[in-house]
């Protein structure tokens, strides 16, 4: 009996260890304590194709606005739909089953893959001014500079793309 217990103990231990490993949740990401950290974490999440973290670093309003873009993508038809599906590396069937959120995230990840993430990696944020739960800085791209907006929600800084999208929709570019 004692020998059987000794032989069983390693098996039980391994079973227990396997159960713990399989049920363990991934450690939550470090919260973005500054707008600059939000940008750095967003870039890193996109570059590693971490859709969950990418999405979580967008403000609630930004998620709504970005989903509208995904919704427009879901309504493409014919050649446009086929071209977009191919661009995303998806079959037409898979494209048709994706939610608006998943389509826009797939578009973001695909556009980053085109150049190996070099363009995204090169973008910097500077001159950030914080005013309460809002912040504005300068997004420095290769040959241009644009405003970058951030908002603090649930104790974490997030990108405020909703403001950028609304500024882009204005006829004079928000100026």
Give the residue extent of every domain in the chain. 38-169
Please tell me whether the overall predicted TM-score, pTM, comes out greater than 0.95 for this model. Answer: no
**For position 116, what pLDDT does the model report?**
84
Q: What are the tens digits of pLDDT across the range 8-42?
A: 444 433 343 334 334 444 445 689 999 999 999 99
Compute the distance between CA of residue 157 and CA of residue 135 in angstroms, rounded to an integer: 9
Q: At 168, is the pLDDT very low, low, confident or very high (cuts 50, 70, 90)?
A: low
Q: Provide the 10 A C-beta neighbour count for residue 4.
A: 8
Long-range contact pairs involving 121-128 (C-beta distance under 8 Å, separation at least 24): 121/43, 121/47, 123/43, 125/35, 125/36, 125/39, 128/34, 128/35, 128/36
Q: What are the tens digits of pLDDT across the range 68-120?
A: 999 999 999 999 999 999 999 999 999 999 999 999 999 999 988 888 888 88
Q: At 2, is the pLDDT very low, low, confident or very high (cuts 50, 70, 90)?
A: very low
DSSP, res 133? T
């Amino acid at each position: 009996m004692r020998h059987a217990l000794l032989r069983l103990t390693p098996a039980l231990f391994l079973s227990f260890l396997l159960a713990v490993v399989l049920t363990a949740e991934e450690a939550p990401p470090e919260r973005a304590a500054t707008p600059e950290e939000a940008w750095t974490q967003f870039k890193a999440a996109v570059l590693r194709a971490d859709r969950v973290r990418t999405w979580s670093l967008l403000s609630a309003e930004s998620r709504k606005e970005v989903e509208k873009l995904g919704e427009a993508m879901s309504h493409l038809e014919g050649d446009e739909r086929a071209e977009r599906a191919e661009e995303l590396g998806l079959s037409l069937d898979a494209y048709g089953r994706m939610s608006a959120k998943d389509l826009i995230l797939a578009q973001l990840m695909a556009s980053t893959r085109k150049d190996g993430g070099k363009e995204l990696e090169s973008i910097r944020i500077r001159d950030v001014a914080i005013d309460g739960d809002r912040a504005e800085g300068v997004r420095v791209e290769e040959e241009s500079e644009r405003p970058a907006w951030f908002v603090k929600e649930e104790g974490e800084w997030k990108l405020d793309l909703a403001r950028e999208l609304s500024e882009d929709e204005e006829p004079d570019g928000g100026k």
